[in-house]
Amino acid sequence: MSLSHRPLPSLGDTDLRLLRVFHKVVECGGFTAAEIELNISRAAISQHMADLERRLGLKLCQRGRAGFRLTDEGRAVHEASGRLLSATESFRAEINVLHSRLRGELNIGITDNLVTSPRMRVTQALRALKRRGPEVRINIRMIPPNEIERGVLDGQLHVGVTPVRRPLPGLDTLALYDEESALYCAAGHPLFGRDDQFLDDATVADADAVAPATLTAAETAPLRVTATATDREGVAFLILTDCYIGFLPTHYARQWVERGQMRALAPGRFAQSVEYRAVTARNGRPNLVQETFMDLLRQGK
């Protein structure tokens, strides 16, 4: 029996909740049995049913001494609402799958020769990302810090890992770790056998030095830079010629130090510490793969 001929308005959360109560009542065969399943009182169930009938403008069931019985409209609503509730559950499941099964790409720019760092949180986060999303395609570009920041800002890179030098507008940053560097020379260099107590700024400044091309003169003091390289591997190449001194990360230089091919010059005085950070575009397009990777980086602290 129809209670009203007005059109049904758009359904909301309240309507779905009422329909679920209705389905449980039909499934249980009445209010009494549904009371235990729903964990609410018969009075509350009765009120929910009355609200649903008022909302739909239809009489859904007969209840009383004769027991619980669906009307013809009630049976039709039960069938239609069953399809609706099933569709909402399918939608929820599909959205959960999107969260649990990551797909897409992660384009990440990294400063060269970080892989030997003992605190390489990026490697750990990439491992966790691949396990969480086997279908994710990871693309790594080893490029200088200034190119990393430009790549993140123009959208070519989702994430960059770069040393902190000067803040750039438009980038969000996550501190990762500090990288320790020392001043090195190779075994054939005149300073290799010099006692550290005789190594002062003037002595160091007399030697030819190699430095990253991106650094300013103030950032390379007290070195006398007569050669540059675009990356740390280039710096290492020139140090190993026995003609230059230069700063290298201690974790990267360790392989040559252990073989007796390099040594740190007065490491108590000539040392640097550079903070590394992960950078993302502040106003970049939402990307679930990128967000997951950044969350994994934060968890690695």
Let me know: does 8 contact 63? Beta carbons within 8 Å: no
pLDDT one-digit tens code per residue, 84-98? 888 887 777 677 666
**CA distance linking residue 39 with residue 34, whole number of Å:** 8
Structure token pair of residue 208: 């030819």
**CA distance linking residue 3 with residue 184, whole number of Å:** 90
How far, rounded to the nearest angstrom, does the alpha carbon of residue 19 sit from its chain's CA centroid?
Answer: 39
* Average pLDDT of the chain, as a whole number: 86
DSSP state of 151: H
pLDDT value of residue 6? 58
Instruction: Indicate the SS3 state at residue 67.
Output: coil
From 30, 134, 11, 116, select the one nearest 74 (Cα to Cα). Answer: 30
Let me know: does 136 contact 101? Beta carbons within 8 Å: no
pLDDT one-digit tens code per residue, 32-50? 888 888 888 888 888 988 8
Task: Please tell me the pTM assigned to this model.
Answer: 0.61
pLDDT classification of 258: cutoffs 50, 70, 90: very high
Q: Is the dihedral of CA 89, 91, 94, 99 positive or negative?
A: negative
The answer on pLDDT for 301 being more than 60 is no
User: What angle, 0 to 180 degrees and rounded to 10, lies between the N-to-C axes of helices 13-28 and 31-38?
Assistant: 120
Q: Which domains does the chain have, with CATH numbers?
A: 13-99 (1.10.10.10), 102-301 (3.40.190.290)
Percentage with pLDDT > 90 across the chain: 40
pLDDT one-digit tens code per residue, 174-187? 998 888 999 999 99
